[in-house]
Structure 1
Amino acid sequence: MTATKVLISGSSVAGPALAYFLHRDGYEVTVVERAPDLRDSGYAVDFRGAAFDVLEEMGILSEVREHDTRMGGTVLVDEEGAEIGRLPAEAFAGELEVPKRELTRILHRVTAGDVTYVFGDSISALTQHASGITVEFERGATREFDLVFGADGVYSKVRRLAFGPHAEALRHLGLSGAGFSTANHLGLRRSGILQHGRDTAIFLLSTGDADRLTVSLSFSTASPALDRRPRHEQEQAVRTAFAGRGWQVPRLLEAMSEADDFSFASTCQVHLDRWSSGRIALVGDAGYCAAPTSGMGTSQALIGARTLTRALASAVGDHAAAFAAYEAELRPYVTENQAIGQETAATMFGGGGTGPADTRSA
Structure 2
Amino acid sequence: MGGTVLVDEEGDEIGRLPAEAFAGELEVPKRELTRILHRITAGDVEYVFDDSISALTQHGSGVTVEFERGGTREFDLVFGADGVYSKVRQLAFGPHAEALRHLGLSGAGFSIANHLGLRRGGILQHGKDTAIFLLSTGDADRLTVSLSFSTASPALDRRPRHEQEQAVRAAFAGRGWQVPRLLEAMSEADDFYFSSTCQVHLDRWSSGRIALVGDAGYCAAPTSGMGTSQALIGARTLARALASAGGDHAAAFTAYEAELRPYVAENQAIGQETAATMFGGGGTGPAGA
TM-score (norm 2): 0.94
Measured against aligned partners, the alpha-carbon deviations of 1:243-285 in whole angstroms (never above 9, x if no partner) come to: 1111011111111111111110000000001100110000111
Measured against aligned partners, the alpha-carbon deviations of 1:302-344 in whole angstroms (never above 9, x if no partner) come to: 1111111121122212111111111111111111111111111
Q: Structure 1 residues 352, 311: closer, same or farther in 2, change over 3 A? A: closer
Q: Structure 1 residues 261, 236: closer, same or farther in 2, change over 3 A? A: same
Q: Does structure 2 retain, via aligned residues, the 8 Å contact 1:181–1:259?
A: yes
Q: Structure 1 residues 167, 350: closer, same or farther in 2, change over 3 A? A: closer
- Give the CA deviation at 1:354: 20
Q: Does structure 2 retain, via aligned residues, the 8 Å contact 1:173–1:269?
A: yes
How far apart, CA to CA, are the structure 1 residues paired with 2:285 and 2:24? 14
How far apart, CA to CA, are the structure 2 residues paired with 1:301 and 1:339? 16
Q: Structure 1 residues 352, 248: closer, same or farther in 2, change over 3 A? A: farther
Q: Does structure 2 retain, via aligned residues, the 8 Å contact 1:348–1:356?
A: no
Matched, 1:203 2:133: yes
Q: Does structure 2 retain, via aligned residues, the 8 Å contact 1:182–1:259?
A: yes
Q: Structure 1 residues 354, 127: closer, same or farther in 2, change over 3 A? A: closer
Measured against aligned partners, the alpha-carbon deviations of 1:194-226 in whole angstroms (never above 9, x if no partner) come to: 111111000112222232221100001111011
Residue 116 of structure 1 aligns to a residue whose secondary structure is coil
Q: Does structure 2 retain, via aligned residues, the 8 Å contact 1:267–1:293?
A: yes
How many residue pairs are counted as aligned between the two chains? 289
Cα RMSD after superposing both structures: 3.4
Indicate the residue corresponding to 2:231 in structure 1. Answer: 301
Q: Structure 1 residues 356, 100: closer, same or farther in 2, change over 3 A? A: farther
How far apart, CA to CA, are the structure 1 residues paired with 2:284 and 2:80? 32
Measured against aligned partners, the alpha-carbon deviations of 1:102-139 in whole angstroms (never above 9, x if no partner) come to: 21111111111111111111111111111111111111
- Give the CA deviation at 1:190: 2.1
Q: Structure 1 residues 354, 125: closer, same or farther in 2, change over 3 A? A: closer
- Give the CA deviation at 1:72: 2.8
- Give the CA deviation at 1:350: 6.7
Give ranges in structure 2 of 5+ residues lacking alignment.
none
How far apart, CA to CA, are the structure 2 residues paired with 1:317 and 1:132? 13
Indicate the residue corresponding to 1:257 in structure 2. Answer: 187
Give ranges in structure 1 of 5+ residues lacking alignment.
1-70
- Give the CA deviation at 1:91: 0.5
Q: Structure 1 residues 245, 252: closer, same or farther in 2, change over 3 A? A: same
Q: Structure 1 residues 269, 316: closer, same or farther in 2, change over 3 A? A: same
How far apart, CA to CA, are the structure 2 residues paired with 1:242 and 1:354? 25
Greater mean alpha carbon deviation, residues 155-164 or residues 311-320: 311-320
Indicate the residue corresponding to 1:99 in structure 2. Answer: 29
How far apart, CA to CA, are the structure 1 residues paired with 2:279 and 2:184? 24
TM-score (norm 1): 0.75
Q: Structure 1 residues 146, 208: closer, same or farther in 2, change over 3 A? A: same
Q: Does structure 2 retain, via aligned residues, the 8 Å contact 1:344–1:353?
A: no
Q: Structure 1 residues 237, 352: closer, same or farther in 2, change over 3 A? A: closer
- Give the CA deviation at 1:352: 13
Q: Does structure 1 retain, via aligned residues, the 8 Å contact 2:272–2:282?
A: no
How far apart, CA to CA, are the structure 1 residues paired with 2:35 and 2:269? 31
Greater mean alpha carbon deviation, residues 170-179 or residues 120-129: 120-129
